[in-house]
Amino acid sequence: MTNQHPVKIVETVLRDGHQSLAATRMRMSDMLPILEQLDDIGFWALEAWGGATFDSCLRFLNEDPWERLRTLRRHLPKTPIQMLLRGQNVLGYNHYADDVVREFVNRSVDNGVRVIRIFDALNDVRNLEVSMRAAKQAGAHVEGAFVYTISPYHTNETFLQVARDLVSLGADSVCIKDMAGLLAPYDAYDLVKKLKSEITVPIHLHTHYTSGMASMTYLKAIEAGVDIVDCALSPFAMGTSQPATEALIAALEGHERDTGLKKEALYPIADHFRSVKKQLAETFKLNTAMDIDTKVLTFQIPGGMLSNLLNQLKEQGMADKYPELLEEMPRVRADLGYPSLVTPTSQIIGSMAAFNVMLGRYKVVPREIKDLARGKYGRTPAPIDPELLKTIIGDDPIITHRPADDIAPQMDKFRQELAEKGFPNASTEDVLSYAVFPEVALEFFEKNRK
């Protein structure tokens, strides 16, 4: 049988797989022995950088994330390295000036990234303009992503409109980013069909196994014509990670969307990572056995986030209010315009729900909630009730323009700050590390740059 349209796979074991199941603790030494074998498989890309890896390298592993990227590039000459970028947030939690965003993208590409997946928590494409154009100019494959979530304001038509906008900004492919495992199989079929009917660039689907539906969702998306899917090698698959690479390859063997990849070639690689996972669990005292949590389908917050919120209540002696918190979270999300629950909006909504349960509804409003309500993070999918808006922000001005327009250039300022702190000859990469994670980067420099 001639296979005209094989499903392409992005392997996530080097980034999202261990971010999901091992707290992003995989070290460069864990990856090095197996990189050449991974490079020979024929994956569309290897997702190996960005997301939480940058912070984790500096904060927990005493590794330079830029040096990690250069090492990966040397050992992966055939397979493109993919990274995840949060648009105007880069890899942090706040918006940065355009010069920081451009420089970060340029240095990422120069150091080895070939595919950049770029998303915004609110699906506000104004927050993607600068990073997508910079990635395009730098010569990377630009993958514009929209965050999949469920609400009365999120429909296949609204997702299609975001996809159109991403293509108009130069996206070489469009990714459905289902970070919480909310996309059901038949909904995936309908959404992919809708996108394929109008979007001419490849459609890529990323999901998590959190709700238990991911493999079924991939199969229906493949039937609908999805071009690329994200999978993780079996030791770092399932739970809150992606479907298993070997299983998907096996499921499609001999069929018209056969991947053409050999699952047998993955067995020794999976054995290596099985050993790595065991070592990480022992070294970092990790629980790497993440259970499926179908509650995510109701609350849209993965189990790890729910456990953090429960701990907050316990610290205040209010653990009995946990059921109220579970009911309050969807209410707060609706109040604040149905933002998707992904970094940083998931943390913001969760904290507001906890405050409401502990202290009374909107009696205390954190600064981040005020910023979200007045548009500092971008446009919320739905409008916020005017009376509630007044309660939250008082007389603070509403931001209707692109939020980053208010941020003056920052690169020279960060470079000067580093010089004053004892690092006058910092590389551009080090300045960028400091820009995104100042305290953590400084501590790393003190250990490694003197």
* Interval 120-170: pLDDT, tens: 999 999 999 999 999 999 999 999 999 999 999 999 999 999 999 999 999
As beta bridge partners, residue 117 has: 84, 143
- Report the relative pairing of strands 203-206 and 228-231 from DSSP bridges: parallel
d(CA 152, CA 166): 22
Assign a CATH topology to domain 302-398: Cyclin A; domain 1 (1.10.472)
The CATH number given to 8-284 is 3.20.20.70
pLDDT of residue 1: 47
d(CA 14, CA 115): 15
DSSP designation for 263: G
396, 374 contact by CB (below 8 A): yes
Alpha helix (H) residue ranges in 146-254: 156-168, 185-198, 214-223, 245-252
Query: In the chain, where are the structural domains located?
Result: 8-284, 302-398, 409-449
DSSP designation for 154: B
Cβ burial of 299 (10 Å; 0-12, 13-18, 19+) is buried
pLDDT of residue 289: 80
Name the residue among 122, 46, 133, 114 with its Cα closest to residue 89.
122
Q: Confirm whether pTM is higher than 0.85.
A: yes
User: Which residue positions in the chain have pLDDT lower than 50?
Assistant: 1
Contacts of 155 (CB under 8 A, 6+ apart): none
In CATH terms, are 8-284 and 302-398 the same topology? no
Angle (nearest 5°) at CA 389 between 387 and 394: 100
Contacts of 121 (CB under 8 A, 6+ apart): 86, 89, 147, 339, 340, 342, 343, 344, 345, 377, 378
Phi-psi region of 50 (alpha: psi -120 to 50; beta: other; left: phi over 0): left
Contacts of 125 (CB under 8 A, 6+ apart): 162, 165, 166, 169
| Element spanning 446, H or E | helix 438-448
Q: Tell me the one-letter amino acid at 158.
A: T
